Amino acid sequence: MRMVVPGALGLALLLGLGGCALPSAAQPSAAALSVDQSADFAAWLGALRSEAASEGISAATLDAAFAGVSAPLPRVLELDRSQPEFVQTFSGYMKNRLSDARIRRGREMLELHRDLFSDIERRYGVQPQYLVAFWALESNFGDYTGGFSVINALATLAFDERRAAFFRGELLTALRIIDAGHISSGAMTGSWAGAMGQCQFMPSTFAGYAVDGDGDGRIDIWQSLPDVMHSAANYLSRAGWRSGERWGREVVLPAGFDFALAGTGVRRTVSEWAALGVLRADGSALGQADLEASVILPAGAAGPAFLGYNNFRTTMVWNRSTFYAISVGHLADRFMGEGPIQHMPEEEERALARADVEELQGLLNSAGVDAGETDGVLGSRTRDAVREYQLRNRLTPDGHPSFELLEILRNANRQ
């Protein structure tokens, strides 16, 4: 999971955490470094150890934690620098995360741990189906929590210059967690970027939100399900989760809908959306309520539409991805017996390759719309630029960077 002491979780998400790290057997041994590089790492590690000791971390903890840390892990650096060749489509994303087997297992987990979840809901106000959805997506119900040594992975990333300050802080926090007796250094495993346990907390998130749910005096988000679920619920509750409210719902937009109203930056009450002609996915009336909601278009105007409520926005504190937030909410709905998304396109849209995104960004910049650096990353700045270009050229302003839009830009550039 991801939440931070503002900002840490979000960065963790951008680093690609979420229960998908390779098992430890897949980690290659450290490639041979040059003599100078080895000396630099050794000196750096010595200084880090001195800093940790000055903060009160015991020599025994430091000895155990750094016993197997002799060089940066090449696989961690490789994963840190790797970028997906293609941008995942909403349809593809959902297919990969909402299998029938996962839905069945989630329902089984809700029944098996009913008493635990009921107690947590009373204490934190987070409904069980949502906790199980986060659990399923983060670590496949605890099956895949990552096989990297968190200390070695964080030491690798803290030694690297790209985000050294952030990861140095995470490494020192991880050492404090070990020193407090919550977990041994050998058992502190996680993703390549240091996300830990069944809920994939970064060390700073653990320090700020993890809870001893089973009352044994330590917090074990690796093996203790009460600790995992109390910690996740505590995080969500403190991030603003509202008890008794759903995450959102699929809707149908009226003909002539003003797509400038779409996006998380625009909020209207459910009653106001109903007055604009927004309906439930089955065509029935939306109803009247003071809940604030945003229209979410994960695949643009041609794809399904959703209303995202407060708990949708809270989910995006955990993970800033719109796709992720919808998948959590929809998976929770499926656990409770609701049906699949009703208005998925019959054919999956063509995925953009990273080179396509770079080209799209360059063409937007050439057209006088500021898309920022041509880095191949579809961030909010690129999407805002897409919407601005669409508005200027009387296209549907859904802000969706599609292959069709790339073709339009290519043709315009040839003229």
Mark whether 336 and 376 lie in a shared domain: no
Mark whether 326 and 367 lie in a shared domain: no
From 348, 375, 406, give the residue that closes a domain: 348
Residue 298 lies in a domain: no
Residue 38 lies in a domain: yes
Residue 381 lies in a domain: yes
**Burial annotation 329-351 (CB, 10 A radius, 16+ → b, else e):** bbbbbbbeeeeebeebeeeebeb
pLDDT digits (tens), the chain, 415 positions: 443 333 334 434 334 444 333 333 333 334 445 556 778 999 999 999 999 999 999 999 999 999 989 999 999 999 998 878 888 999 999 999 999 999 999 999 999 999 999 999 999 999 999 999 999 999 999 999 999 999 999 999 999 999 999 999 999 999 999 999 999 999 999 999 999 999 999 999 999 999 999 999 999 999 999 999 999 999 999 999 999 999 999 999 999 999 999 999 999 999 999 999 999 999 999 989 999 999 999 999 999 999 999 999 999 999 999 999 999 999 999 999 999 999 998 888 999 999 999 999 999 999 999 999 999 988 889 999 999 999 999 999 999 999 999 999 999 999 8
Tokens of 113: 């741990």
Residue 108 lies in a domain: yes
From 299, 321, 348, give the residue that closes a domain: 348
Question: 231 near 210, Cβ under 8 Å?
Answer: yes
The total of structural domains in the chain comes to: 2
Mark whether 324 and 371 lie in a shared domain: no
Q: Which residues contact 362 (CB under 8 A, 6 or more apart)?
A: 371, 374
pTM: 0.90
Determine the straight-line distance between the first and last CA of the chain, rounded to whole angstroms. 48
Question: 262 near 275, Cβ under 8 Å?
Answer: no
Range of the domain at 83: 1-247+309-348
Mark whether 100 and 185 lie in a shared domain: yes
- Is residue 77 exposed (0-12), middle (13-18) or buried (19+ Cβ within 10 Å)? middle
Residue 116 lies in a domain: yes
Mark whether 369 and 227 lie in a shared domain: no
Mark whether 336 and 365 lie in a shared domain: no
Question: Taking the CA of residue 395 as centre, how many other CA atoms within 13 Å lie in the half-sphere pointing to its CB?
Answer: 21
Residue 300 lies in a domain: no
Mark whether 390 and 316 lie in a shared domain: no
Residue 76 lies in a domain: yes
How many whole angstroms separate alpha carbon 413 and alpha carbon 375?
20
Cα distances (angstroms) measured from residue 354 to each of 86, 150, 323, 374, 382: 6, 30, 18, 10, 13
How many whole angstroms separate alpha carbon 62 and alpha carbon 54?
12
From 297, 318, 348, give the residue that closes a domain: 348
